[in-house]
Amino acid sequence: MIFMYIRCHRRLTRVLCETGQVETERAADVLRGAGHVAVLTGAGISTDSGIPDFRGPQGVWTKNPAAERTSTLSHYLHEPEVRRLAWQQRVASPAWTAKPNPGHAALVDLERQGRLVALVTQNIDELHQRAGSDPALVVELHGTMRRVVCWSCGADGPMEPVLDRVRAGDPDPHCLACGGILKSATISFGQGLDPLTIERAEEAAVKCDVFLAVGSSLGVYPAAGLVPLAREAGAGIVIVNGEPTPFDPIASAVVRGSISEVLPLLVAPA
């Protein structure tokens, strides 16, 4: 056990030097002392799997602001050209071939240690489940891109058959049951989140010892509001992100660096 700790400590020190982040050890210490950890993940945890984020320096919306219209409900429902663009983006998404990375695997390890109380995610790629996270612990705030729903009759099903229709030449596939508009089972701007899903996330935030926010800009609510909620309930806050967030000042530790490299070390048992 002592040898394992020394080896882990040496690896941690190496990454600390490489990333230049003096708070890496502090973050690891905060997490080692926690018996109940709630995690919030954002797009940044999937970038090492080849899925670009949205607001980062190389983000989808940063490089092409017009693409944000496809994620706005009013534009999607009322502008056929926006829907056609959205379907082309879905077909071409790198998420279909993406594989979980060590960041995802680290959270599976945290679960196996018996310390993970909930894995709240803003992501729609289901890479957490594909990495081995228990679906019962995953709280998908923004839904999933792997299913489709009819805006008119509510019929839902897997996404792949609808993508096959797009590949076959249908630029804007409609519901086969009622002819209504089809949409991925995700939450768009202007669309309300499921109240029960929010309740599960908030319950996890107020009951944890440490709230770990990974790869999220913490600029979108209600997800961002989980951080101060957990802090007010007495939890330590650890933020791992490539860019500054609005809640860095209230965090117990803030770590910059590659999530795939840093996160496995932060959750490693003592």
Residue 3's pLDDT band (cuts 50, 70, 90): very low
What is the spatial distance between Cα 60 and Cα 153, in angstroms, rounded to a whole number?
31
- Report which of residues 100 and 2 the model is more confident about: 100
Q: 33 with 154, same domain?
A: no
Q: Out of 9, 104, 142, 174, which one is annotated catalytic?
A: 142
What is the spatial distance between Cα 248 and Cα 254, in angstroms, rounded to a whole number?
6
Q: Please tell me the predicted confidence (pLDDT) of residue 40.
A: 98
Q: 47 with 174, same domain?
A: no
Mean pLDDT of 23-51: 94
Q: 245 with 209, same domain?
A: yes
Q: 17 with 61, same domain?
A: no
Q: 40 with 1, same domain?
A: yes
Pick the closest to residue 110 from 163, 184, 35 (CA basis): 35
Using the predicted structure, report yes or no on whether residue 249 has a pLDDT greater than 80: yes
Tell me which DSSP letter residue 54 carries.
S
Tell me which DSSP letter residue 193 carries.
P
Domain end, chosen from 160, 186, 212, is at 186
Which secondary structure element, helix H or strand E, spans residue 40, and what is its range? strand 37-41
75 assigned to active site: no
Specify the 3-state DSSP secondary structure of 82.
Answer: helix
Q: 182 with 74, same domain?
A: yes
Using the predicted structure, report yes or no on whether residue 252 has a pLDDT greater than 90: yes
Residue 30's pLDDT band (cuts 50, 70, 90): very high
Q: 203 with 244, same domain?
A: yes
CATH code, 133: 3.40.50.1220
What is the spatial distance between Cα 159 and Cα 267, in angstroms, rounded to a whole number?
34
48 contacts 103 by C-beta, under 8 angstroms: yes
Tell me which DSSP letter residue 211 carries.
E
Mean pLDDT of 18-28: 72
Q: 68 with 199, same domain?
A: no
What is the spatial distance between Cα 80 and Cα 24, in angstroms, rounded to a whole number?
48
Using the predicted structure, report yes or no on whether residue 256 has a pLDDT greater than 70: yes
Could you tell me the pTM of the whole model? 0.86
Domain that holds residue 64: 57-92+146-186
101 contacts 86 by C-beta, under 8 angstroms: no
Instruction: Determine how β-strand 138-140 pairs with β-strand 116-121.
Output: parallel
What is the spatial distance between Cα 160 and Cα 157, in angstroms, rounded to a whole number?
9
Report residue 150 as tokens. 């009819």
pLDDT in tens, 135-155: 999 999 999 999 999 999 999
Structural domain count, the chain: 2
pLDDT in tens, 50-97: 998 766 555 565 566 667 789 899 999 999 999 999 999 999 999 999
The backbone region for 208, taken as left when phi is positive above 0, alpha when psi lies in -120 to 50, beta otherwise, is beta
Using the predicted structure, report yes or no on whether residue 1 has a pLDDT greater than 50: no
Q: 150 with 252, same domain?
A: no
Mean pLDDT of 38-49: 96
Q: 88 with 107, same domain?
A: no
Strand partners, 184: 148
Q: Please tell me the predicted confidence (pLDDT) of residue 2.
A: 37
Specify the 3-state DSSP secondary structure of 124.
Answer: coil
Mean pLDDT of the chain: 89
Using the predicted structure, report yes or no on whether residue 241 has a pLDDT greater than 70: yes
Q: 234 with 110, same domain?
A: yes
Instruction: Determine how β-strand 138-140 pairs with β-strand 143-150.
Output: unpaired
Give percent above pLDDT 90 in the chain. 80
Report residue 224 as tokens. 């961002």
CA dihedral (146, 150, 151, 154) positive or negative: negative
Mean pLDDT of 171-187: 97
